[in-house]
Amino acid sequence: MPFGIHQALKVIVMKCRCGSKAVYERKTEGSFYCDDCLARQVEKRFQKTISENKLVKAGDTIAVALSGGKDSSALLYMLNNSKNPKTEIFAISIDEGIRGRGICLEKASCLTKKLGIRHFIFSFEEELGITIDSIKDRKTCTYCGVFKRNLINKKARELGANKIAVGHNLNDEAQSILLNFLRGDCNHFQRLGADPVKDKKFVHRIKPLRDIPEAEIVLYARIKKIPHINRRCIYSYDNQRRDILNMLDSLEKKYPGTIFQIVKFYDRIKPLVSKSDKVSIGYCDRCGEPGGKLCKSCQLLTELKKLS
Ligand code: FES
Ligand code: ZN
């Protein structure tokens, strides 16, 4: 019997501790969970990451980077449900100019309306004069990631946020750790974690989902009926990130707990690899945003202009 079918049947016949039908096996613990118990477990981990890393405090204004996908949608939902009355939350979405992206933005709007949260949408076309679809280069996702990070940071700061919450889950975090390791990028490597960089122009980025596996977030979003869309970027087929993700997926299937161990290992060595608590990033001479003498976003925009 193929491995996948065997696993699915195992979950179907097993029961959760509460006696209800199991929908998920957390292999690292050997435990089975029903819908309700799994949702509670996910929320428990989310709260634990927040409190252990002191990610949120009363009086914060948090901009949630909302793509319309499962991770950022679940993040907005949980942050909103658990927020202190003195904490303000709003959402920022970016229209990168990718065909078919409209449906994700519609889901994002649907969720923010449902939760009664302010929602701001900015487009690359209006802000940077480019669309991702118009880039004829193999590094499309790299351009997109850099532009998106910079634009969200700038807009969140202008809108008065003191924190940006991003939906990186456990798998994303393990992937970023390995990616920076394989690229020998010590600078980015030491900036990972739940609570990475502190700088007056760089809005404090927090990752409350970084201890939750992707599979649990997929189920959580379904259990809570959170409007979202599950699709991968159409340009991500040919990049190093995708290869690392596929490798991690197969290692996790064969050796459950691998992804968790990579992230925990990083957390243990982080104090040894960080030069100081405050990583200095400098400001761009051209746009004034954080990121060195010529920030990555301005470097890539210059490259694109040369290519066109
Ligand atoms: Fe935006 Fe791939 S092009 S994530
Ligand atoms: Zn710049």
* Residue 84, SS3 per DSSP: coil
- The CATH code belonging to domain 43-282 is 3.40.50.620
Ligand nearest to the CA of 294: 2
Distance from residue 289's CA to the centre of ligand 2 (Å): 6
Ligand 1 atom with the smallest distance to the CA of 132 is 3
Q: Which atom of ligand 1 is nearest to the CA of 144?
A: 1
What is the Å distance from ligand 2's center to 99 Cα? 27
**One-letter amino acid identity for 26?**
R
Which ligand is nearest the CA of 154, by number?
2
Tell me which amino acid residue 161 is.
A
Neighbours of 201 (CB within 10 A): 14
Locate 204 and state its tokens. Answer: 């404090």
Angle at 234 between CA 172 and CA 107, to 5 degrees: 75
| DSSP class per residue in 151-198 | HHHHHHHHTT-SEEE----HHHHHHHHHHHHHHT-HHHHTT-SSS---
Residue 121: count of CB within 10 angstroms of its CB: 14
Residue nearest to atom 3 of ligand 1 (CA): 141
Question: Exposed, middle or buried: residue 13 (CB in 10 Å: 0-12, 13-18, 19+)?
Answer: exposed
Find the 291 Cα to ligand 2 centroid distance in Å. 7
Relative to the alpha carbon of 239, which ligand is closest? Answer: 1
d(CA 55, CA 176): 20
Candidate from 140, 175, 238, 304 with most ligand 1 atoms within 8 A of CB, to mutate: 140
Helix H or strand E encompassing 24: strand 24-26
Contact residues for 227 (Cβ-Cβ < 8 A; gap 6+): 73, 107, 110, 111, 114
pLDDT in single tens digits along all 308 residues of the chain: 444 556 665 556 789 999 999 999 998 888 999 999 999 999 999 999 999 999 999 999 999 999 999 999 999 999 999 988 889 999 999 999 999 889 999 999 999 999 999 999 999 999 999 899 988 776 788 889 999 999 999 999 999 999 999 999 999 999 999 998 888 888 778 777 655 566 778 899 999 999 999 999 999 999 999 999 988 888 876 578 888 989 999 999 999 999 999 999 999 988 887 765 455 568 888 888 887 788 888 988 888 877 66
Closest ligand to C-alpha of residue 295 is 2
CA of 242 to the centre of ligand 2 (A): 27
Burial class (CB in 10 A: 0-12, 13-18, 19+), 225: exposed
Ligand 2 centroid from CA 150, angstroms: 9
* Number of other CB atoms surrounding residue 188 within 10 Å: 13
CA distances from 298 to 127, 301, 302 (A): 13, 5, 6
Q: 127 and 151 in contact (C-beta within 8 Å)? A: yes
Ligand 1: nearest atom to the Cα of 233: 2
pTM of the model: 0.89
Pocket of ligand 1 (CB under 6 A): 96, 132, 140-141, 144, 233, 235-236
Ligand 1: atom nearest CA of 143 is: 3
